[in-house]
Structure 1
Amino acid sequence: MFKELSLARFAVSVFFAAVLVGCAVQPAAQSIPVTATLHGDAAHPAQTQGWVDTRLYFGLGLADQPEHGVSEQGWREFLDREVTPRFPDGLSVLDVYGQWQGKQQTSPERLRSKLLVIDYPDTAENRAKIEAIRAAWKKRTGDQSVLRVTQAAEVSF
């Protein structure tokens, strides 16, 4: 019986030793530090303070009338002329479906749309650039609005 107790204690000791060793060793994926790849570049900071994420929604035309409204080529021309020169460091564009109901409408319009996402330092100059983009689109299309959603953002490159 003494031998069985010693064997049981030994097995328990080995088990706890294995658990403790397992806790002390990190998996390979966790031991690699995660850092930004671009350092010292103001356009692509390792850490940020005072940046925002702005999303602009542009209606291209009625969803069930793709031959009318703004074409893909027309959108790219607008992007090249009005957006890229103001934010050359980077942006994202997504195709989205949207709905809009104007003040005088009784039902919403279903629209082909583009979602423009831009992250940038929150300065008066950059906010003015965003408003210039919105104004240019409304002038080009006659639309009443370009929806803007802006939130604080923590970015790293």
Structure 2
Amino acid sequence: MKNPIPRLILLVPFAFLAACAATAPTKTAATLHGDPAHPATTAGWVRTELYFGTGPADDAASGVDETRWREFLDREVSTRFPDGLSVYDIYGQWRDKGAAKPERLRSKVILLLYPDTPEHRADVEAIRAAWKRVTGDQSVLRVTQPADVSF
């Protein structure tokens, strides 16, 4: 009688692949049909990230504290984008023009998804201008790219 082990070794990978195919995730349909703020599919939407320096990374006592940040978020951002946004705490580096080395910063990133309209673009610029006015910062980095969004 032949040894059945070599044949069994060949069958194991096929059984594994079949199990993976049977449990592969399927694309689900959007559930919020008809809601303009949360469309089933989008056209002409963008994703914008705004980067805000909140203070030196090695000095938690200076810069913008969490209370002041939330006041800014409530007053300047949430009023312009009330349907939702995301905020991330990050660490960043920025080198001022002419500086020998970058400064290390505590930072926040706001992620916005919205229809690309002149009004929304103006809202983003108003947020950037407000932060510079409130903090005296030179800039708020903006990154905008097309977004395929579904809710």
Looking at CA atoms only, which structure, 1 or 2, has the larger radius of gyration?
1
Q: Counterpart of 1:66?
A: 60
TM-score, length-scaled by structure 1: 0.80
The total of aligned residue pairs comes to: 132
- Report the Cα distance in structure 2 between the residues aligned to 1:109 and 1:46, rounded to whole angstroms: 43
CA displacement, residues 105-146 of structure 1 (integer Å, 9 cap, x when unaligned): 111000000010000000000000000000000000000000
TM-score, length-scaled by structure 2: 0.83
Residue 85 of structure 1 and its aligned partner are, at CA, apart by 0.3
Unpaired runs of 5+ in structure 2?
1-17
Residue 27 of structure 1 and its aligned partner are, at CA, apart by 3.8
Q: Tell me: CA distance 1:53–1:33, structure 2 relative to 1, closer, same or farther (3 Å).
A: closer
Q: Percent identity?
A: 65
Q: Counterpart of 2:145?
A: 151
Higher share of residues assigned helix: 1
The Cα RMSD (Å) is: 1.5
Query: Which of 71, 74, 79 is equivalent to 1:77?
Result: 71
- Report the Cα distance in structure 1 between the residues aligned to 2:131 and 2:40, rounded to whole angstroms: 33
CA displacement, residues 78-97 of structure 1 (integer Å, 9 cap, x when unaligned): 00000000000000000000
Residue 37 of structure 1 and its aligned partner are, at CA, apart by 1.1
- Report the Cα distance in structure 1 between the residues aligned to 2:142 and 2:124, rounded to whole angstroms: 9
- Report the Cα distance in structure 1 between the residues aligned to 2:53 and 2:133, rounded to whole angstroms: 13
Query: Which of 44, 49, 54 is equivalent to 1:55?
Result: 49
Instruction: Return structure 1 stretches of 4+ with deviation > 4 angstroms.
Output: none
Unpaired runs of 5+ in structure 1?
1-21
